[in-house]
Amino acid sequence: MPRRKKTKKFFDIFSLPITIMVLLVVLTFIFICSSSLYAIYYARVVDPYNQLLINQIILNNRLVQLQEQINHASKLEQKAIISRQQIKEEMVVSEDVIGRHDLSNKGDMQFKSANFYRGLYTFSGKITVTGRYIYYEKDAGILNDIVCLDNIRESDVKKFPKFADDERDVWFCFSNQELAKKLFGPEGSSGQATIEIDNYTIDMMESEVWNTAELIRVINKN
């Protein structure tokens, strides 16, 4: 009998730690399983839902921006309609008056078209003029890498249409620069030339602009 009591006491001593270890193992297993299940749930449910919310916020912001752009474009369109109505009511396009600029000199060309918004007035009719051509070099300032004609002969100046409020000397750059560079190159060249032009365009914008003309052919140059 005393021997049996000793065995039971020995078992009682070690049963509690074993039970605790088993519980810890079970709890650890439950924790691992729970973590795995939550990770799966987060990846399949929570994360897509959060991403959906983010996408919804981005979409709403884009819709707000788009609506603002539409409102701005609508205001610009209304202003453009008013401007067009004012042009129809206030500006007369005729042989003698173009927009609000009186033609002090009609020249040898005929009025072709006008762009009131940009201040451009184009005249058609081929004329022959003599002047100094200049092929401006790159980085030469406002006029760079461009061919122009100035110092036009006085008798030829009268061939150009001119507005009464345009106090600039008559000179222009070519609208077809590719051909002009080919005929007047290389870069940096200058000299006297007699040429034929067409589609002379007067630029009345209040900025660093110049008139243009289409080069038809070079009659002679030196």
Does the pLDDT of residue 215 top 90, yes or no? yes
**What pLDDT score does 63 carry?**
81
Collect contacts of 138-147 with beta carbons under 8 A, ≥24 apart. Answer: 138/187, 142/208, 143/173, 143/210, 145/187, 146/173, 146/177, 147/173, 147/174, 147/177, 147/180, 147/181, 147/184
Residue-wise pLDDT tens digits, 106-132: 888 888 887 777 788 999 999 999 999
Q: What percent of the chain has pLDDT over 90?
A: 37
Q: What is the mean pLDDT of residues 177-198?
A: 96
What is 9-71 written as a DSSP string? HHHHHHHHHHHHHHHHHHHHHHHHHHHHHHHHHIIIIIHHHHHHHHHHHHHHHHHHHHHHHHH
Does the pLDDT of residue 207 top 90, yes or no? no
**What pLDDT score does 161 carry?**
92
Does the pLDDT of residue 137 top 50, yes or no? yes
Residue 89 φ/ψ, nearest 5 degrees: -80, -35
Q: Which amino acid is at 55?
A: N
Q: Please report which confidence band the pLDDT of residue 55 belongs to, taking 50, 70 and 90 as the band edges.
A: confident
Q: What is the pTM of this model?
A: 0.57
Residue-wise pLDDT tens digits, 150-186: 999 999 999 999 988 888 999 999 999 999 999 999 9
| Beta strands across the sheet bearing 162-163 | 92-93, 97-99, 101-105, 162-163
- The continuous run of DSSP H or E covering 216 comes out as strand 212-221
Does the pLDDT of residue 7 top 70, yes or no? no
**What pLDDT score does 179 carry?**
97
Who wins on pLDDT, 57 or 50?
A: 57
> Mean pLDDT lowest for which of 30-34, 149-153, 156-160, 215-219?
30-34
